[in-house]
Structure 1
Amino acid sequence: MDPYDPTITDPAFYKVIFENERVRILEYRDEPGDVTHTHRHPDSVMVTLSAFRRKVSAGGRSVEVDLRAGEARWLGAQEHAGENIGGTATHSIFIELKEPPPTTAKTVGTPLGPS
């Protein structure tokens, strides 16, 4: 098991709600002021179930993101820590892909946070 798996680094926030050989689906919940430890996500789709504001940090840089409820965002594979810097709870779903990207896929660098 990967020690940077978010269900290991932050089990109070991340819960596996479905898993098979191709995908894993995580539910994420936190409250204003909550901070996660550094963890990894493979290529994923994030679906926001609530509106929230976060700071996502990795490699000495940080970005702040404001997301509305009901958004679906691509999250390229990355390692980061997060902090709820808003005034509302975060509730989101991560659909993590277990299959590697196609060999014809072009990578333009990994952005920090959802895109």
Structure 2
Amino acid sequence: MSLDPVATNPDHYKVVFENDRVRVLEYSDHPGQRTTPHHHPDSVMYTLSSFRRRLVSGNSAREVELAAGTVGWLPAQEHHGENVGDTPTHVIFVELKDGATAADAEAALGPRQPSQ
């Protein structure tokens, strides 16, 4: 069974960009909505809205409250969550894949369009 959040929670997660190095997900929900268990690899999270959530992993639970514009590291983890606040959640996740090579760095100059 896949724990990919796009597969387990397609109403909340969507892929907005992907290549061989990263996958960028957009997440959104409304107060009272929950996700089913899913896995995140090491990621960078950028909050587009302020929100409050309860995250649950195994027997551990934690409430988090984040302001819009917060950027943070999300270590690989499996959890499910619930919007326990009174505002929608809107977040971008940049999931990391295997590292870059020196040839990739030397060939890079500026942003690339998704088709490149």
TM-score range, shorter chain: 0.7 to 0.9
1:96 has 2:87 as partner? no
Q: For residues 1-115 of structure 1, what are the structure 2 equivalents within 5 Å?
A: 3-99=2-98
Counting helix residues as a fraction of each chain, which structure ranks higher? Answer: 2
The CA deviation string for residues 12-68 of structure 1, in whole angstroms up to 9 with x for no partner, is: 000000000000000000000000000000000000000000000001110000000
Q: Aligned equivalents of 1:65 and 1:97: distance in 2? A: 23
Percent of aligned pairs sharing the same letter: 58
The CA deviation string for residues 65-108 of structure 1, in whole angstroms up to 9 with x for no partner, is: 000000001000000001000000000000000126xxxxxxxx
Q: Aligned equivalents of 2:93 and 2:74: distance in 1? A: 9
Moved more, 91-100 or 11-20: 91-100
Equivalent pairs, count:
99
Structure 1 unaligned segments of length 5 or more: list them.
101-115
TM-score (norm 2): 0.83
Structure 2 unaligned segments of length 5 or more: list them.
100-116
TM-score (norm 1): 0.84
Q: Aligned equivalents of 1:63 and 1:88: distance in 2? A: 18
